[in-house]
Amino acid sequence: MLTNNPFAALTDFLPPTFMQWYVALMILAVILGTLFDVVHKGSARYFFDNWRKSRSRKGSNPVGGGELVAIALKTGFIDVMTSAEFCTVRRRLAHLLGMYGFVLYVIATVALVFGASAGAIWAQLWWLGALMVCVGGYWFWFFIRVDVLAEGHSPLRVVRADLFILSLLASCTLALAWGWAQAAGSPGARVLFWLYLLATTVLFGGVPWSKFAHMFFKPAAAFEKRVSNANGTRSNLPAPADKPEQLGGAREIPRHY
């Protein structure tokens, strides 16, 4: 089961190129959704305007080209690859599981869909990636996300910002269920497959309404903040929660009655 391409068996009831067209459409949906996010919400403009203002202000320690490269590398390895912005270990671990799992899941899916003869390693990475997303995602959703009880909210409260994590969990959970059911010869495998496609369509088609596009802007924000700190001009982007002094004073612990 773990070494077989789960998409290869779809040719029994679907055209051979069906999944290839579907993946291409999902890639296009992400591109268009991100562009819409840039134009409609002004996300990219905010970061670029802030970068331009930061560069126009004369800092006490001008940053040269070599230092910019070093800052870029540090941003990539620390802020992006290790999610250093999270101040708690369990939150960082949950995020890393979800992030690297999602990367494996997407790359392996593309390899399996466009390469019918892809090696068993890609099938194993597909299973591993989906499982990592489920472990990290459910850990976050049930144990780490906002303390809804302290804020007086119901644990069942769902807002639009949750669209990305919920659709991602649904896609990976249904992927695992469909793959297992298909390998076991279950008659419900086809139903699970269509549910899997529905959840995946919401995940990639819902980019304009979810936090999906934020993964492209966060590295730019982290880089700008490091450059501002290095040249002596303070970034107006939010400071990490574990460094409240950068916001002008210590944060008080909220009281909940």
Mind spelling out the 3-state secondary structure of 33-55?
HHHHHHHHHCHHHHHHHHHHHHH
Most confident range, picked from 15-19, 117-121, 215-219: 15-19
Average pLDDT of the chain is 77
- Quick: pLDDT tens for 26-83: 999 998 988 887 777 666 666 666 666 665 555 556 665 666 666 666 655 565 566 6
pLDDT digits over 85-107, tens only? 666 778 889 888 998 999 999 99
Q: With contact defined as beta carbons under 8 Å apart, do 256 and 151 qualify?
A: yes
- Please, are residues 242 and 255 in contact by the beta-carbon 8 Å criterion? no
Point out the least confidently predicted range of 28-37, 115-124, 166-175, 237-246. Answer: 237-246
pLDDT at 243 over 60: no
Nearest CA among 230, 213, 238, 180 for reference residue 75: 230
Q: Give the predicted TM-score (pTM) of the model.
A: 0.74
How confident is the model over 147-165, as a mean pLDDT?
A: 71
Side chain identity at 97, as an amino acid letter?
Answer: L
Q: Report residue 154's pLDDT band, with 50, 70 and 90 as the boundaries.
A: low
Residue 157 vs residue 217, higher pLDDT: 157
Q: In this structure, what DSSP letter does residue 147 have?
A: -
Q: In the structure, what pLDDT confidence band is assigned to residue 222 with cuts at 50, 70 and 90?
A: low
